Chains A and B, each alone.
Chain A
């Protein structure tokens, strides 16, 4: 059984807002931050969730080798909500070597390599001399960058399981702390807009031509967004806690979910079992809810199997976009905000819930007491993760 972990600090940055207050405002107002694609470098007929402010972030001179879109976004997010100071205090309490770091990403700084491929030496085919693979693109580049910014020397690693990446980091942190490999952990995830995901999901015909509309009768796919978020986890009591998690594989298909949501269902049941609670004790489910016909149908069935029609659910992808490898931490942060503020977010871009949907989708947010919230994240490879957060009053 898991040891619940206190969440000492957390922060989230996406198109919906830079930091917690702006994000909470967007959720409360039911505003979508998604816009028609205006990326000059990827002229596709779709919508996006873009964090414009991240584009002009300057990295510290000593870390200039790490300069890429993903790390600029990471730094912008780290600087919000007093997060760096909270980590500094944990570093003081435990020692830098006892604070672990687990970050999720699906594409890290791949945009740097994509742009470098546009500027290859015509004679040799070499990439431009200024290009650095290890610090600008490698899947580990953002983890190493964040580790240096935060001054941590504990065990660090990157989880890359597509769209469940930055949910699974919570599971690693809990195990490492329970087994005494660390006393605290920074978890999180960063994924930024790039050609690979924009054109790749378009090739799979999974990108909506207009804004994504999760669980809508007329849903036509995802809207890709970018985001970064972090949480500081520690042993002990706290107002907000990680109380359960579940991880499963569909073992069905690389890019299509099990039609009945079998893996998703097992992940949710695993999370409830570890939290030692029944389905009736979950007050709100933040769905993965991407907006593709197959994903939403499967998740709806799985949620219904576990909760019946009773648990209120919503997808906040219409607010933030699908931030892929950062979706787990983004929605973990939204779940924590909803617990803190006693406000269940709605699904603001959804107009008419698909009558085929078996779970109960809340279109509009509402103030209500919340004690325990589940957050779902599912990814390519049939990779599923469900997290349960609780609040102690």
Chain B
């Protein structure tokens, strides 16, 4: 599948935006760890910002970065959001309440769904096309990218793909040790245009090996499914013909080749 990448958004410790990440991925600058500032997406009204979870704010802030770089209107894009889990802080708070008083906040309950970020985004942007929220555990980035590319080509529509992980509180983090927030937003178009950053050939192949992480990446990010996406983003700054391999399952991988 050949798709065009129109715009990118990145949020992670040391990566307040794509420009910063691009230099590290291109080998022009070393990775410098720095705490990620709390996300305050401008598209959410202050009341919605208060009601939403940190996961929603993270996903929307990354999406907004990408939206600023493209002339395609948010209303003209389908949405594919991917994350290994729903908002774990909310899951934790709900499970605590359910193990105690069983008094559950209605807002917390509707914020607990896996598609809360894409729902909040569609409301904020008046984006009325289809929105899909995907999960494939540690392989959620490759699964989401595959789903997004398939939708872009299958429906001939630009797709906003966002993949994100927000930290899990104790005791859930003992099982899934996500301790840093990372998020990547990619605007995928079925056809290249003047502003296209690069075209990618995306294919499924048999997986070989465990899938090494990039050397610059802090080990703490290895629990984040979305952090796999940095290998894909490197294909925006790599030379034509370069490729990255992202694990999709124990048997399969997604190859992203710069065209």
Number of A residues with CB within 8 Å of any CB on chain B = 68
Q: Which residues of B contact A134 (CB under 8 A)?
A: 137, 175-176
Q: Tell whether B189 is near chain A: CB-to-CB under 8 Å.
A: no
Distance in angstroms between the alpha carbons of A155 and B133 in the assembled complex? 16
With contacts A133-B175, A196-B98 known, is A254 near B119, CB below 8 A? yes
Q: Which residues of A contact B153 (CB under 8 A)?
A: 179
Q: Tell whether A383 is near chain B: CB-to-CB under 8 Å.
A: yes
**Once the chains bind, are B170 and A155 in contact (CB under 8 Å)?**
no
Q: Which residue of B lies closest to A262 (CB)?
A: B128
Which chain B residues (109-130) contact chain A, with CB distance < 8 Å?
Answer: 109-116, 118-120, 122-123, 125-130
Q: Tell whether A219 is near chain B: CB-to-CB under 8 Å.
A: no
Distance in angstroms between the alpha carbons of A168 and B110 in the assembled complex? 20
Cβ proximity bits B164-207 to A, threshold 8 Å, 1 near / 0 not? 00000011101110000000000000000000000000001010
Q: Which residues of B contact A248 (CB under 8 A)?
A: 128-130
Q: Tell whether B259 is near chain A: CB-to-CB under 8 Å.
A: no
Q: Tell whether A120 is near chain B: CB-to-CB under 8 Å.
A: yes
Distance in angstroms between the alpha carbons of A144 and B137 in the assembled complex? 9
Q: Tell whether B242 is near chain A: CB-to-CB under 8 Å.
A: no
Q: Which residues of A contact B103 (CB under 8 A)?
A: 203
Q: Which residues of B contact A351 (CB under 8 A)?
A: none
Which chain B residues (69-126) contact chain A, with CB distance < 8 Å?
Answer: 78-79, 84-86, 91, 94-96, 98-99, 102-106, 109-116, 118-120, 122-123, 125-126
**Once the chains bind, are B95 and A117 in contact (CB under 8 Å)?**
yes
Q: Tell whether B11 is near chain A: CB-to-CB under 8 Å.
A: no
Q: Which residue of B lies closest to A106 (CB)?
A: B113
**Once the chains bind, are B105 and A203 in contact (CB under 8 Å)?**
yes
Q: Tell whether B143 is near chain A: CB-to-CB under 8 Å.
A: yes
With contacts A201-B109, A249-B130 known, is A160 near B115, CB below 8 A? yes
Chain B binding surface, main DSSP class: mixed
Q: Which residues of A contact B249 (CB under 8 A)?
A: 153, 155-156
What's the least CB distance linking B116 to chain A, in Å?
6
What's the least CB distance linking B201 to chain A, in Å?
13
Distance in angstroms between the alpha carbons of A380 and B116 in the assembled complex? 8
**Once the chains bind, are B155 and A175 in contact (CB under 8 Å)?**
yes
Which chain A residues (169-206) contact chain B, with CB distance < 8 Å?
Answer: 171-172, 174-176, 178-179, 181, 195-196, 199-205
Which of A29-37, A135-143, A289-297, A370-378 forms contacts with chain B?
A: A135-143
**Once the chains bind, are B106 and A203 in contact (CB under 8 Å)?**
yes
Q: Tell whether A67 is near chain B: CB-to-CB under 8 Å.
A: no
Q: Tell whether A114 is near chain B: CB-to-CB under 8 Å.
A: yes
Q: Tell whether A209 is near chain B: CB-to-CB under 8 Å.
A: no
Distance in angstroms between the alpha carbons of A203 and B112 in the assembled complex? 13
**Once the chains bind, are A196 and B94 in contact (CB under 8 Å)?**
yes
With contacts A138-B85, A249-B131, A251-B125 known, is A203 near B248, CB below 8 A? no
Which of A9-17, A69-77, A123-131, A309-317 forms contacts with chain B?
A: A123-131
**Once the chains bind, are A181 and B114 in contact (CB under 8 Å)?**
no
Q: Which residues of A contact B252 (CB under 8 A)?
A: 97, 153-155
Q: Tell whether B150 is near chain A: CB-to-CB under 8 Å.
A: yes
Distance in angstroms between the alpha carbons of A309 and B1 in the assembled complex? 43
**Once the chains bind, are B94 and A157 in contact (CB under 8 Å)?**
no
Q: Which residue of B lies closest to A201 (CB)?
A: B109
**Once the chains bind, are A117 and B98 in contact (CB under 8 Å)?**
yes
Contact of B135 among A110, A120, A157, A255 (CB under 8 A): A157
Distance in angstroms between the alpha carbons of A155 and B109 in the assembled complex? 31
**Once the chains bind, are A97 and B251 in contact (CB under 8 Å)?**
yes
**Once the chains bind, are B147 and A140 in contact (CB under 8 Å)?**
no
Cβ proximity bits A68-93 to B, threshold 8 Å, 1 near / 0 not? 00000000000000000000000000
Contact of A254 among B120, B125, B127, B248 (CB under 8 A): B120
Distance in angstroms between the alpha carbons of A174 and B248 in the assembled complex? 19
Instruction: Given contact pairs A97-B251, A247-B132, enumerate 8 new A-B contacts (beta carbons under 8 Å).
Output: A110-B91, A113-B172, A157-B147, A160-B133, A205-B106, A248-B130, A251-B123, A255-B106
